[in-house]
A and B are shown apart, each in its own frame.
Chain A
């Protein structure tokens, strides 16, 4: 059973370009979470999605960032007009649900975004 898949693993963009980060959850998981990790910091929650719905985006910057989890295909985190401060590792996690033992989040390997 494949784990959480993220691609690309490394992404380099110039200031002003767009970055698209993809996440395929574990088989059977319909809950997806995105986190950002700045150097020497812990992970910070960005957004929580279920299929076709954004449940909680309280950690998402108001501008330039968006996320989706379509009925078919991976979840996408999109960053428009990237700036140097967006350079970070972006992790995706998935879970079966949010209650009891179903809330265990399994993490992908992360995408390291570098903005030149």
Chain B
């Protein structure tokens, strides 16, 4: 069974600084997807970034980028130029590739506070 671990329950960062959130996972699969979701106080789940395991290049979306280390089964999220609106829970998630398995497996989350 796959598991996702986020070892930082809470983090804080000053506005405009850079912060990195950690995520590790365990799987015997070779092909899979990894995601970071953001959940602000409104509780709406918002996709931040996704990574296909077969791609060596790290995904980037504006101020958000990942460091994907497949051999180490590590998938960290870097937020550059942090903004107050980045304050939220951040969840790392895993999805198997193909077949009838479409469900996401989530970590317990990291609560990020951006301070002015």
Using a CB–CB distance below 8 Å, which chain A residues touch chain B?
A: 31, 33, 35, 40-45, 48, 55-56, 59, 89, 91, 93, 95, 98-99, 103-107, 109-110, 112
Contact = CB atoms under 8 A, between A and B. Distances in A.
B44 A45 contact: no
Contact-residue bracket for chain B: 20 to 34
B102 interface: yes
Contacts of B102: 31, 33, 48, 55-56, 95, 98, 103, 105
A104 to B, nearest CB: 6
B101 A56 contact: yes
23 contacts: A33-B103, A33-B104, A35-B106, A40-B108, A41-B109, A42-B109, A43-B91, A44-B106, A45-B105, A48-B100, A55-B100, A55-B102, A56-B101, A91-B45, A98-B98, A98-B99, A98-B101, A103-B33, A103-B102, A105-B104, A107-B46, A109-B42, A110-B43
B66 to A, nearest CB: 16
A43 B43 contact: no
A55 B29 CA distance: 20
Contacts of B43: 89, 109-110, 112
B45 A104 contact: no
Interface in B81-116: 91, 95, 98-109
A48 B104 CA distance: 10
Interface of B: 4, 33, 37, 42-47, 50, 91, 95, 98-109
Q: Is the interface of A mostly helix, strand, loop or mixed?
A: strand
Contacts of A41: 108-109
A58 to B, nearest CB: 8
